[in-house]
Amino acid sequence: MEPRVTKPRVVVLDYGSGNVRSASRAIERAGATVEVSHDRQAALNADGLVVPGVGAFAACMEGLRGVQAPQIIDQRLTGDRPVLGICVGMQVLFEWGVEHEVTTEGLGQWPGTVQRLPARVVPHMGWNTVSAPESSLMFAGVHDARFYFVHSYAALDWVLPPNPYGPQPAVTWTTYEAPFVSAVENGPLWATQFHPEKSAQAGAVLLANWIGTL
């Protein structure tokens, strides 16, 4: 195979959630050409799409619907085109989010509900370890590293049934008084609860691992 002569093109989806600039800079440093955009065609045509997210589940879902993100993500995944969700950008991939006793429908890529962490102190803020499968492509070279978290909500269970027809999703866990899902690799759909763009060298390696799949 001949080496790739151009950098992969990545769109960081701009839907009003914030945090797009730090994510785009980190992805550029990891080896991609990055555009911050809410343009549907740009998001569909890019080699990779990043869905960041900060703030409330419901507000992020409103912003995503406003730029037709549910349809964009569905279309990309149907075509086996990579998507990376970060923080709330991971949470919205589940069916439901519950915040302050309000239930909001998510993107439904995975069954399950995002809910408040059952910890004495929230948010969970700072560096923590992960427990990733040995086969993980996402964590290649950084299985023993620490990553930076800032969140009060997470998926506490993994309920996706085994897939007898293809590779099983690689689910990574982290413990903050109780275990929660901190990353998932599910075919072309990858997601992290932590912020790789704020996770120093470990985060840079992880982003480079994702870019290597584009």
Q: How do strand 94-99 and strand 110-116 relate by DSSP bridges?
A: parallel
Q: Angle formed by the axes of helices 57-66 and 69-78, to 10°?
A: 80
Which one from 60, 124, 151, 197 is the annotated catalytic residue?
197
> Does the annotation mark 101 as catalytic?
no
> Does the annotation mark 195 as catalytic?
yes
Which one from 38, 124, 151, 195 is the annotated catalytic residue?
195
Q: Which residues contact 113 (CB under 8 A, 6 or more apart)?
A: 94, 95, 96, 97, 98, 155
> Does the annotation mark 177 as catalytic?
no
Which one from 60, 87, 124, 151 is the annotated catalytic residue?
87
The neighbour count for residue 168, using CB atoms within 10 Å, is 14
List the alpha helices (DSSP H) in 67-190. Answer: 69-78, 88-91
Q: Which residues carry out catalysis?
A: 87, 195, 197
